[in-house]
Copies of this chain bind each other. A is one copy, B any other.
Amino acid sequence: MNRHETRRGKLLRIIQREKLDAFLVTSEVNVSYLTGFSGDSSCLLVRPESTLIVSDFRYTTQLEEECPGLDTLIRTTDVKLPEAVVESLKRAKPRLRRVGIESHVMSVELQNRLSGELEDIEFVPVSSAIENEIRAVKDAGEIDELRTAVHLAERGLEYLKAILTPDLTERDASFELEHALRRLGADGFSFPAIIAVGDRAALPHYRPGLLRIGDAGILLVDWGAKTASGYRSDLTRTLVTGKASSKLEKVYNIVLEAQEAAIAAIRPGIKCEDVDRIARDVIAEAGYGKRFGHGLGHGIGLDIHEQPRFAPKSPMELKAGMVVTVEPGIYLPGWGGVRIEDDVLVTRTGAEVLSQSLPKRFDDMILSL
């Protein structure tokens, strides 16, 4: 059994538990996870009897190469995807009565159409089952891929530091970083990098602009690499340009303390909200509670944001094999911000920081350009 069959086997157990005849996978990432198919615009009908991929002309040859042995229904140009999905559900033998749908991604329009044209079938909303119950825990091959994604990102930052000059803009720094990641073997960034100078670092989702790196104090870099097979790392370092201020050092060390306390707590069985609270308490006790407005972190994998989520009211328990970011921050509008982010594998006994080759003590952040 190859790894995609193993994953579909886990989905079959969900099908059985929910007393379904079939599960209709409409998330493109989930289709890819369950089959190895790297294209888009395709759906998967998983049943105990067989697995059928509904795709189109453009992918005929690609499907033969990437998913040999999978049943395929190739629609022609004049048949749209929903029509082909209806057809595949009608044709299935034995006849389908209860079909699970991914209610967190399926559109209202598609559901209305399926329900309208297939009155004999009950469509059962099953939200995020593949994400929460299967993809959240990585298999050995995925952990290797994530190690590679982290390694590539680490090498990328080393490159960026090596070529930085005060005259480089945030945008150019971002372009150079992605180009370097690709030359190192990555498919590119895992998400549009955030490279933020000075007070822009107070914007947790800033896009790199035309500001010069200069010597304004703060250079926040939040970036990651995507491997050729689609696995994504996500790291942040807050670098220091010019003369380091004592305020920056103080804020930096609070964030670092919060991050290290949270990582130290990571182990199978702990609730995500408890890990989040450990970091949040450190920051609140230092008087910056209102300045850390996002969740502590999230799973990574084929998507940049996966389960589990570190946030208040996130009761999911950690399990060995999960890979998560830990990324507390303090943001002071008009002044700047500090965020420190590493990628962490939950092991049987605790945690392994995958991104440990990048230093993160305050003194190590000071650049001399």
Contacts and interface: CB of A to CB of B under 8 A. Distances in A.
A127 B182 CA distance: 39
Interface string A179-193: 100110000000000
A348 interface: no
A203 interface: yes
A57 B202 CA distance: 11
Total copies of this chain within the assembly: 2
A101 B112 CA distance: 14
Given A108-B103, A112-B125, A58 B179 contact: no
A191 B207 CA distance: 18
Nearest to A76: B293
A173 to B, nearest CB: 12
A106 interface: yes
Contact of A293 (B58, B107, B294, B313): B58
A76 B280 CA distance: 14
A210 to B, nearest CB: 10
B103 A106 contact: no
Contacts of A40: 205
A58 B203 contact: yes
Contacts of A204: 57-58
Contacts of A179: 175, 179
A198 to B, nearest CB: 13
B203 A61 contact: yes
A2 interface: no
A246 interface: no
Contacts of A38: 207
A62 B108 CA distance: 31
A311 B40 CA distance: 19
B125 A311 contact: no
A205 B59 contact: yes
A336 to B, nearest CB: 12
Given A59-B203, A62-B203, A104-B108, 20 more contacts: A39-B205, A56-B294, A58-B203, A58-B204, A58-B293, A59-B205, A61-B333, A62-B205, A77-B295, A77-B311, A77-B312, A78-B313, A103-B108, A103-B112, A104-B107, A105-B107, A106-B108, A108-B125, A175-B182, A179-B179
Q: Which 10 A-B pairs have the closest CB atoms?
A: A57-B293, A103-B108, A58-B204, A103-B109, A78-B312, A175-B182, A104-B109, A179-B179, A58-B205, A108-B111
24 contacts: A38-B207, A39-B205, A57-B204, A58-B203, A58-B205, A59-B203, A60-B333, A61-B203, A62-B203, A62-B205, A77-B294, A77-B311, A77-B312, A78-B312, A78-B313, A103-B112, A104-B107, A104-B109, A105-B107, A106-B108, A107-B107, A108-B125, A112-B125, A175-B183
